[in-house]
Amino acid sequence: MFFNLSQDVAIDLGTANTLVYIRGEGIVLNEPSIVVVDSDTNEVREIGHEALQMHERTHQDIETIWPLRDGVIADFKVAEEMIQGLLRKVKNNWLTSIRSMVVCVPSGITEVEKRAVRDSAEHAGARKVNLVSEPMAAAIGIGLDIQEAVGNMVVDIGGGTTEIAVIALSGIVLDESLRVGGAELDKAIVQYFKRNHNLLIGSRTAERIKCEVGSAIELDTELDLSVKGRDLVSGIPKVRTISSVNVREALHDNLEQISAAVLRTLERTPPELGADVLERGIMMTGGGALLEGIDQMLRDRVELPVYVAEDPLKAVVRGTGEVLENLENYERVLT
């Protein structure tokens, strides 16, 4: 069997999930961006899926860390070790080096934050690092022709941020990055049940509630879900049935912020590009696009066509991979 000793890699380094694409192979890894660290020695014990299993179940000797917050690196050292560890999983410990790496970053990122991503990628062994903005990668990943003289609008709802951008002629004409994403929705669910139902649930349970019965619009048949949490009155664990009506109420304010940001971006869009968006519609990507009815909610609010991309969780890594495969072609989209 032939092993390539030098590889080109594209990474969607997300707040919630990290996906890795290898040139010529496609997406080879998709794991949560979480690490378990030994509290005494700061040594990394587990990375990705194994670490997520341990989240909110740790004791004093170990802690779980999400090294990215709001789409950017919050814990530099841990982020670096996470990237290295994930790449090691991909390489199956084969001694390969990374020739070129393309990493996507939020569009509103500062120079210092960009530097942190570059440094982490270089320390992970990349000899050449290129950055591409997330909404641009998402647009490429869903097959939009970003080079033509036509406006496309993309709304990417990730774990940490919502990125809204109007793209034309290989550039971002205008964008808005909102620090509201899936994690904020989970937090809102935790708060809601604590405040209104005296029920304390963990963030993983909140995420499950969001994915299974969460919605942005009224459902034809409202849903119930059994969840386990601590009853704050009796102080002991209990099973409770919660309704999708309550979950929607919990999500309302954050979803309102996302719709308002989309409206604001549309209002700032130059008329010719606005006309293109009217004709082509708004494309939604990122895990948040999977929330039931979120496309309908936006459609009602902005009165334009809104579509959820196919496999929205992988749109950004597909686009980042596409840039990696055709670097010369996409030189203008690199930040």
Ligand X SMILES: Nc1ncnc2c1ncn2[C@@H]1O[C@H](COP(=O)(O)OP(=O)(O)OP(=O)(O)O)[C@@H](O)[C@H]1O
Binding residues: 15-17, 159-161, 207-210, 287-290
Least distance (Å) from ligand X to the CB of residue 27? Answer: 13
> 91 or 318: whose CB is closer to ligand X?
318
> 155 or 273: whose CB is closer to ligand X?
155
> 71 or 229: whose CB is closer to ligand X?
71
> 159 or 321: whose CB is closer to ligand X?
159
Q: Write out the binding residues for ATP.
A: 15-17, 159-161, 207-210, 287-290
Structure tokens at 51: 């670490």
> 37 or 313: whose CB is closer to ligand X?
313
H helix count then E strand count, the chain = 10, 18
> 131 or 291: whose CB is closer to ligand X?
291
Give the pairing type, strands 282-285 and 306-308. Answer: parallel
Asked if 149 contacts 169 with a C-beta cutoff of 8 angstroms, the reply is yes
Site residues for ligand X per CB under 6 A = 12, 14-17, 71, 134, 158-161, 181-183, 207, 210-211, 214, 286-288, 290-291, 313
Least distance (Å) from ligand X to the CB of residue 107? Answer: 11
Least distance (Å) from ligand X to the CB of residue 70? Answer: 7
Write out the E strands in 183-305.
199-200, 224-231, 237-243, 282-285
∠ CA 113-188-68, nearest 5°, is 20
Least distance (Å) from ligand X to the CB of residue 59? Answer: 26
Sign of the Cα torsion 154, 158, 163, 164 reads positive
Q: What SS3 class is residue 141?
A: helix
Distance CA 296, CA 50 (A): 36
Least distance (Å) from ligand X to the CB of residue 16? Answer: 3
Least distance (Å) from ligand X to the CB of residue 316? Answer: 6
Distance CA 155, CA 172 (A): 13
Phi, psi of 74 (to 5 degrees): -105, -35
DSSP state of 64: E
Sheet architecture: strand order including 62-65: 44-47, 35-38, 62-65
Sheet architecture: strand order including 162-168: 171-178, 162-168, 152-157, 282-285, 306-308
